[in-house]
Structure 1
């Protein structure tokens, strides 16, 4: 295994989880950006949300163009942060199914590892109902692939679980905030692209009206599922930050009062 463990920043984790929860009908995908230290620990600090050209309930693919664009974005981010940033891996969702990678996921992961042995994969299993608590659960796993077949035989790839640690952050860094803001726009672009494909066919009036209604409903769904909760979360975070600033300001004033030197009053002397 080329990677000993993965440290995922909590703001990057927030983007991945929000993206995974954006739809329960198809899988979503994106790329992970960060750096690897001398101990073979991957530090993921940013996320690139990818637009799906073909929506599938059980399969996602990353085009070479998307991978190249993400590499360029990682290079620009590295110049901004003055650190060597690069594409470390990919993530996708498993709505309504187990968190473990399928044989297709393992084969796809192995293909990426041929290009970069340190490439990792994250899977978010979402919208799974717990029969006991009657609540939806969310699981995440990090993995790489290995070939279990003897030499000379067709490859049979299986997963290798990689330890994953969520690193707390007290703020949302600019790259993750930008990805969070772009997410509804990308989802709307996907819906628009799917709708425009229907316009290229010679359809009757009733079918065109139906397709237009479905498109409008999809956009409203994105606004309800993504826009409103994201705004509420950001407003709540802003309110907490204001309270924290106020508490720190009060603490600062208290410390300044303690450090302020006391003015000593002169004592009267009596001459004899």
Structure 2
């Protein structure tokens, strides 16, 4: 096995999950950026940033990453490597499974294998969302990490199957700038998708009623994005700001208390 485990930073996990929960009608996808530790043969993939990708073709059960998107992600990884002074690269991909099982389909396994041909440390993450737990009647989120492996005997046609990779979500108290930038891009990505879909409806020969209808649907979609997506995103960021303010306040109080204790110590123990 090329990869023994995957460490996913909590802020990167939040970005992936937010993206997965942004729509329950179609699958969404993105690329993972990080580094691979080569200390021993059982390598560990560290994911610290993600890039959300715009869908050129919205389908309920299929996602595709174009070569142009991979190239752009590689360029972004190089930029982050300079910014963070660490060897960053594209180390995986993620996509959502709304209303279906978390396990990868045969298409997902084949897609994963194609990436592993280029990089044997490349991993895949799947976020299963909008599924109801039958016992509690509550929505649950499931996440899996996998690679593809050929199970056919030597000389036989390849038969690829998934192999699950242990996934560890590493907590952190702050949100990194790359993850914050990815998060605030989400409304823009969906707006661009709606714009492209609307542009495809424009053409010669359309009657006035159809044009008005298409324009109305487009404006309704944008309004829905503002209400559902942007509103909750702003609320999340405001909560983060308040959390940071409370943390700064606590740290200042601890600092004052420590300074007081140091002063009392010096008074009791003069040189």
> How does the TM-score come out when normalised to structure 2?
0.94
Count of matched residue pairs: 265
SS at match of 1:93: strand
- Paired residue for 1:12? 12
- C-alpha displacement at 1:201, in angstroms? 5.3
- C-alpha displacement at 1:263, in angstroms? 8.3
- Paired residue for 2:2? 2
1:70-219 superposed matches below 5 A: 70-200=73-203, 202-219=205-222
SS at match of 1:88: strand
Counterpart Cα distance in 2 of 1:99 and 1:123: 6
Deviation larger for 142-151 or 175-184: 142-151
Residues 185-226 of structure 1 deviation map (CA, whole Å, 9 limit, x = unaligned): 011001100100000353222222222122112112212222
Counterpart Cα distance in 1 of 2:88 and 2:3: 16
Given the alignment of the two structures, is residue 233 of structure 1 paired with residue 244 of structure 2, yes or no? Answer: no
- C-alpha displacement at 1:67, in angstroms? 0.3
- C-alpha displacement at 1:77, in angstroms? 0.4
Counterpart Cα distance in 2 of 1:13 and 1:165: 10
- C-alpha displacement at 1:257, in angstroms? 1.0
Counterpart Cα distance in 2 of 1:67 and 1:202: 38
> How does the TM-score come out when normalised to structure 1?
0.94
Counterpart Cα distance in 2 of 1:202 and 1:7: 54
- C-alpha displacement at 1:134, in angstroms? 2.1
Counterpart Cα distance in 1 of 2:197 and 2:259: 61
SS at match of 1:133: coil
- Paired residue for 1:268? none
- C-alpha displacement at 1:251, in angstroms? 1.1
Residues 50-80 of structure 1 deviation map (CA, whole Å, 9 limit, x = unaligned): 1111111000000001001100110110011
Given the alignment of the two structures, is residue 31 of structure 1 paired with residue 31 of structure 2, yes or no? Answer: yes
Counterpart Cα distance in 1 of 2:175 and 2:256: 27
Tell which structure's C-alpha radius of gyration is larger. 1
Deviation larger for 42-51 or 239-248: 239-248
- C-alpha displacement at 1:151, in angstroms? 3.4
- C-alpha displacement at 1:262, in angstroms? 2.1
- Paired residue for 1:67? 70
Counterpart Cα distance in 2 of 1:15 and 1:24: 16
Structure 2 CA distance for partners of 1:131 and 1:209, relative to 1, 3 Å: farther
- C-alpha displacement at 1:155, in angstroms? 2.4
Counterpart Cα distance in 1 of 2:198 and 2:219: 10
RMSD between superposed Cα atoms in Å = 1.5
- C-alpha displacement at 1:238, in angstroms? 1.1
Counterpart Cα distance in 1 of 2:84 and 2:129: 33
Counterpart Cα distance in 2 of 1:201 and 1:143: 47
Counterpart Cα distance in 2 of 1:201 and 1:93: 37
